[in-house]
Amino acid sequence: MTGVAGLIAHKQRGGRHGPEEIAFLVEGYLRGTVPDYQMAAWLMAVYFRGLDAEETWALTRVLVQSGEVLNLDAVPGIKVDKHSTGGVGDKTTLVVAPLAAALGLKMVKLAGRSLGHTGGTLDKLEAIPGLRVELSREEIIAQAARTGVVVAGHTAELVPADRKLYALRDVTSTTDCLPLIAASIMSKKIAGGAQVIVLDVKVGEGGFLPGLEEARRLAQTMVELGRRAERPTVAVLSRMDQPLGRAVGNALEVREAAAVLQGGGPPDVRELSLALTAQLLLLAGQVRTAEEGRALAERALAEGRAWEKFRELVAAQGGRVEALEPGGLAEARYQVPVRALRGGYVRRVAARPIGETARALGAGRQVLGQPVDPAVGITVEAKVGDRVGEGEVLARLHAQDRGLAESLARRLAGAWEIGEEPPKEEPLVYETRP
Ligand code: URA
């Protein structure tokens, strides 16, 4: 068997690809000579058989070379980037990007859309009326030089192959795959032109790779890809076994990020945002210790400088800043409660079914290119360690279709594990890997 079918069969049997074979597949997919169904079959073969370090590096390079590399020389200062491997309720980019910029770093963040059960920063930002995330290369550079912060989609010129593959992975259940995640993320970071990169690698079933060992391997793989590309990279391993914060869904998450930027919001979102910003400052050589970086970040939040920078970001990308005031963002027609099946301590809140339910409500996509509904989602009222009574509200589904929400709410109650004993405390950040 030759051609694409031969390459699929080779990977299916556990064979290795040379860099030219990976280039043939990915470039062909981008050009349209390799159709969706063959690429989907190859992705599935990779899903089961994996890619080794050389193949992962080859895939990363082909993805980068499928488009341009953003040249940020015209932007003065230290250009930094941050990326999460994807979780439920993870809105830290909305906090970290303006916070880092308020501290003098230049944050040019090329973000993604929802993937599988996880949300995407671009979909969240688009919940702000008027805000554009599809910026041209010239617009990105001009905005970065002017304001120090941009959060945009990778333009048609940047990593177009990842954009196409990412959308295909989303609807073929090939998202939870270490080398595909590593190459997808690092190709965007390399093409994005940042000098230093901080990665937030999620640990727990709300991420794509639940186990600590897998998360470590993913972190190591991405840090190594950064080293090969001469971009100093650090990975923070953070907990994702319950949603981060309380809001899951696009407009709901923007509201929660705004609360953190104004000095309030849920402690876990605030903590993780501070930890990631501290690592950015450290890697950029602006502070000598992470503690020093954290203190600077806390001050920028307390003094309202990060919130002001966020408003500047929104305005620069055409968003209506007034929409950030209470009642300014889209709200769903119905709120349907999820109630506790018994009383006791919340020992676990399974993030993945919550992410999947938000997706089913319309916060994410089920098929290629489907629009998302900014208003829908879930607000989590009971988190790990809370004590609840039988029948108490654990969460609310924000929905446009009451019938759908009621049936989803009944099923979702099982995501809360409730017991007699309080759970043991787990750290939010497990470790940081240089
Ligand atoms: N984020 C990405 O950009 N790509 C992935 O594959 C997973 C998370």
What one-character DSSP code corresponds to residue 157?
T
**Ligand 1 closest atom vs CA 181:** 6
| Amino acid present at 342 | R
Q: Checking DSSP bridges between strand 79-84 and strand 196-203, what pairing results, if any? A: parallel
Output the CA–CA distances (angstroms, integers) from residue 91 to 83, 175, 201, in the order listed.
11, 20, 14
Catalytic residue positions? 83, 162, 169, 184, 188
N residues, the chain: 434
- Per-residue pLDDT tens, the chain, 434 aa: give them: 579 999 999 999 999 999 999 999 999 999 999 999 999 999 999 999 999 999 999 999 999 999 999 999 999 999 999 999 989 999 999 999 999 999 999 999 989 888 888 989 999 999 999 999 999 999 999 999 999 999 998 777 889 999 999 999 988 999 989 999 999 999 999 999 999 999 999 999 998 888 999 999 999 999 999 999 999 999 999 999 999 999 999 999 999 999 999 999 999 999 999 999 999 999 999 999 999 999 999 999 999 999 999 999 999 999 999 999 999 999 999 999 999 999 999 999 999 999 999 999 999 987 777 899 999 999 999 999 999 999 999 999 999 999 999 999 999 999 999 999 999 988 999 999 88
Q: What residues form DSSP beta bridges with 282? A: none
429: closest CA among 102, 214, 204?
A: 204
348 C-alpha vs ligand 1 centroid, how far in Å?
A: 25
- Put the strands of the sheet holding 377-380 in their side by side order: 247-248, 377-380, 393-399, 334-339
- As given in the structure block, the two tokens for residue 127 are 């919940």
- C-beta of 329 in contact with ligand 1 (< 6 A): no
In angstroms, what is the span from residue 396 Cα to ligand 1's centroid? 28
Q: Whose CA is nearest to atom 5 of ligand 1?
A: 181
115 CB within 6 A, ligand 1: yes
- Decide: 185 in ligand 1 pocket, CB within 6 A: yes
Q: How far apart are CA 404 and CA 361, in angstroms?
A: 8
Mutate to test the pocket of ligand 1, among 181, 187, 208, 218 (most ligand atoms within 8 A of CB): 181
Q: Is 285 exposed, middle or buried (0-12, 13-18, 19+ CB in 10 A)?
A: exposed
**Which residues are registered as beta bridge partners of 235?**
199, 433
Give pTM, 2 decimals: 0.92
Distance from the first to the final alpha carbon of the chain:
43
216 alpha carbon – ligand 1 mean position (Å)? 16
Torsion over CA: 229, 231, 232, 235 (sign): negative
Say if residues 128 and 145 touch (Cβ distance below 8 Å).
no
Q: Is the CB of 184 under 6 A from ligand 1?
A: yes
